[in-house]
Amino acid sequence: MEFNIALVPGDGIGPEIVGSAVKVMETVADKFGHKFNFTTYLAGGCAIDKYGEPLPQVTVDGCLASDSVLLGAVGGPKWDHLSGNMRPEKALLGLRKVLGLYTNLRPAALQPALAEACVLRPDISEKGFDLMIVRELTGGIYFGERGRNKAGDAAFDTEAYSVLEIERVARAAFEIARKRKKHLTSVDKANVLETSRLWRETVHRIGQTEYPDVTLDDMYVDNAAMQIIRAPSFFDVIVTSNMFGDILSDEASQVTGSIGLLASASLGETTRGMYEPIHGSAPDIAGKDLANPIATILSAAMMLRYSFDLPEEADCIERAVSDVLSAGWRTADIKSPDDENYLSGSQMTEKILEYLGR
């Protein structure tokens, strides 16, 4: 099969880690007889430098014309003094908007080989866990009406959700649960918030009518925050609103160990998605070949699974990463303090390519 992929490396370590993911995808394409055509576009600080804006039209058009987008990270101290629409991060919101991406997927799995890096008690971490947080991305309190009173001594933000917004993210979550262990936990605050009551009603209706094969349960967000630490192996897929998902996905990712390992995907109505590591542009290590490429490589694997429906190819990448880690290979961010034989970012990429070829 042939796919056109828009690469948006961005700033800082972005070009290094996207370059690694491209090598991995090219190797997988050769192995399975596919063709991936890559075109690179600028966004973030580098686009401000070249075009005077963080998200130039040429990037928007290129991403819209592609089958999927792989993004590195944007931002850095060079552009920190800029404000409002000129900030590099505006490129991310802009891309999500033009691509119509309303569902954010954040897997948080504990790689058995990295159990020692997990911050949880050993009796909890040794059980392992593999959860997927599905977060609504374009509604809720982050997009609701907000303001201050005239005196400026009171402010408000509004949480609002329509049935349509809830239905579409719920369906995305049920579909994902169907491909995993068929267990979906809907997280809300229905004991207090009216939007949460609508959320719960809607998710249950969709579950009963369209996904009776998926086990659905509800959990209040405060309890969910506790259970992710107490008993993460309980969860398979979690679906929740924009703000709750923002907080819980960061919490879940932190219990797995390094930020350099965590992938994400943003999806909408079509199969075209945007895939990116959860970390930022890490200006402190940019250009030093220290960045861990694994989060971006696993984001590429998610692209193959969710946008291109190539599960075998995605499994192959995930297995190679897991095998490299099980064999003890580490980058600086995941090494133990006394380990002096860790790999650079490019060496880690080569190691993963070697295991892919096995």
Give the residue numbers marked as catalytic.
Answer: 142, 189, 222, 246, 250
Q: Which is nearer to ligand NAD, 195 or 281 (CB)?
A: 281
Closest Cα partner for 223 from 193, 195, 191, 256?
191
In the complex, the smallest distance separating the C-beta of residue 229 from ligand NAD, rounded to whole angstroms, is 21
When the beta carbons of 203 and 295 are compared against ligand NAD, the nearer one is 295
Nearest residue to ligand NAD on Cβ basis: 280
Residue at 103: amino acid letter:
T
- The nearest distance, CB 349 to ligand NAD, in angstroms, is 12
Nearer to ligand NAD, 93 or 163 (CB): 93
The least CB distance from residue 116 to ligand NAD, in Å, is: 18
Smallest distance from ligand NAD to CB 296, Å: 8
Q: Which residues bind ligand NAD (CB under 6 A)?
A: 13, 73-76, 89, 92, 259-260, 276, 279-285, 291-292, 295, 333
Which amino acid is present at 65? A
User: 23 or 178: whose CB is closer to ligand NAD?
Assistant: 23
